Amino acid sequence: MKNKTDQLNKTQKNPFRLLCLVMSLLIAFTCVPAGILASEADPSSIQMTEAVPKPKPSLDKTKAVMGIGEIIQINMLNTKKEAVWSSSDRKVARVSKKGKVLAVGEGKATITAAILRFELTCEITVVKRSLTMTQEQLTLKKGQIYALRVKKENLTGTVSWTSSNPSVVTVNKYGTIKAKSVGSAVICAEVGTYSAECKVTVKASSASTRWKRLLERYLPYSGTKQLVFVKYTGGSSAIVKLYTKSAGKWKRVLTCQGEVGQGGVGTAREGIAVTPTGVYNLTGAFGIAPNPGAKMKYIRVNQYLYWCGDRNFYNQLIDIREHPHNCQGEHLIEYTQCYEYGMFFDYNKENIYGKGSAFFLHVKGNYGYTGGCVAVSRANMIKILQTCEKGAKICIYPR
């Protein structure tokens, strides 16, 4: 008691010292960071925190549209307590003890999570979703392009397209497919987890089937050991391929550019420059130049040889010395470039007047087309002569 009074007395007795104390306190508070000072000092902020009510339990979704077979998870918020889950219609949607919902049939169902005094609900609408291909099977010819389509039911989102075998069938992002080679592939369309398929079979185009059939037809036939394919490619152009039989198989020994008639290939007749389609025998070798080693009998062209276009000897090789007449046919020796080397083929072997005459396989001229013959380069003509034996055939068709 005595001491306190003494102290008070001392303070009262020294007003300067009191001022110093107030000043030092002021300095001390000023040095405290402003933020701490404000939050600790402001009583209203503490009151606000205490005023927020504790959040009620809720569900993270209150409605959902589902497709049959789909699963979603409904989560409880703001509680750690376990809810009791139930469905208003188990034929539409079922719910697990943990809130996992499985859509089982079309319709509406209410999923309820019961917890303490709360009953929380989520409205589930189950729809039928589907993705179907408008065709499930398709046969295309090689080279053909086709637009596949899908039907979407209750589905949104873009369709993504894939091919199981792009070397056979390719597909672009719009579902347009292209048959690249013979075989089969499955084209798949997907939207999310939904998918649809179309099995595509690619067959050879009719033209390539024809060439394959020709090879197959003459393979067991011992009378034919070479085939010359003339595949017309439009205009006066063709691809010429030479096959020869070797160890019971066809072996392609030459592929080159060829020329056909100015009028293309088709039905030939006298007076038009059309190369006849069909399969013909290569019946002999000939040329103005000496025999280059032809496998077939080689006729060296001399000044007396004509390919007759007259009625009496129509479409025949004649020696004017044996059949003297003022021949209107082809005087072979005059065609120095084209008939340097050549082979005859037996188009119009019946020698029907007007059906066409003088169809040969020969060396190319300078025009880029022929008068109805088939022409290849000099080197390729020599190769054909050196390869083709008696019984060899020439097959002329569009591709």
Q: How far apart are CA 100 and CA 179, in angstroms?
A: 46
DSSP state of 98: T
244 has which bridge partners?
A: 226, 251
In the bound state with Zn ion, the residue whose beta carbon lies nearer, of 206 and 303, is: 303
Is 146:161 a contact under the CB 8 Å cutoff? no
Between the alpha carbon of residue 112 and those of residues 100, 102, 289, 386, the distances in Å are 12, 14, 101, 91
Shortest distance in whole angstroms from residue 267 CB to Zn ion:
24
In the bound state with Zn ion, the residue whose beta carbon lies nearer, of 133 and 327, is: 327
Shortest distance in whole angstroms from residue 310 CB to Zn ion:
4
Shortest distance in whole angstroms from residue 335 CB to Zn ion:
16
Residues that bind Zn ion (CB under 5 A): 308, 310, 327, 329
Q: How far apart are CA 72 and CA 101, in angstroms?
A: 5
Scored b (16 or more CB within 10 A) or e, 260-278 reads bbbebbbebebeebbbbbe
In the bound state with Zn ion, the residue whose beta carbon lies nearer, of 131 and 318, is: 318
End-to-end CA distance of the chain: 128
Q: How far apart are CA 36 and CA 29, in angstroms?
A: 11
In the bound state with Zn ion, the residue whose beta carbon lies nearer, of 295 and 355, is: 355
In the bound state with Zn ion, the residue whose beta carbon lies nearer, of 308 and 388, is: 308
How far from the centroid of its chain's Cα atoms is residue 23's Cα? 89
Shortest distance in whole angstroms from residue 311 CB to Zn ion:
9
In the bound state with Zn ion, the residue whose beta carbon lies nearer, of 218 and 307, is: 307
Shortest distance in whole angstroms from residue 270 CB to Zn ion:
13
Shortest distance in whole angstroms from residue 314 CB to Zn ion:
8
In the bound state with Zn ion, the residue whose beta carbon lies nearer, of 274 and 318, is: 318
In the bound state with Zn ion, the residue whose beta carbon lies nearer, of 70 and 330, is: 330
Shortest distance in whole angstroms from residue 140 CB to Zn ion:
52
Name every residue whose Cβ is closer than 8 Å to that of residue 356 and which is 6 or more positions away in sequence.
268, 269, 270, 276, 315, 347, 348, 372
Shortest distance in whole angstroms from residue 301 CB to Zn ion:
16
User: Quick one: CA torsion of 278, 284, 288, 294, rounded to 10 degrees?
Assistant: 110
Handedness of CA 138, 143, 144, 149 (dihedral sign): positive
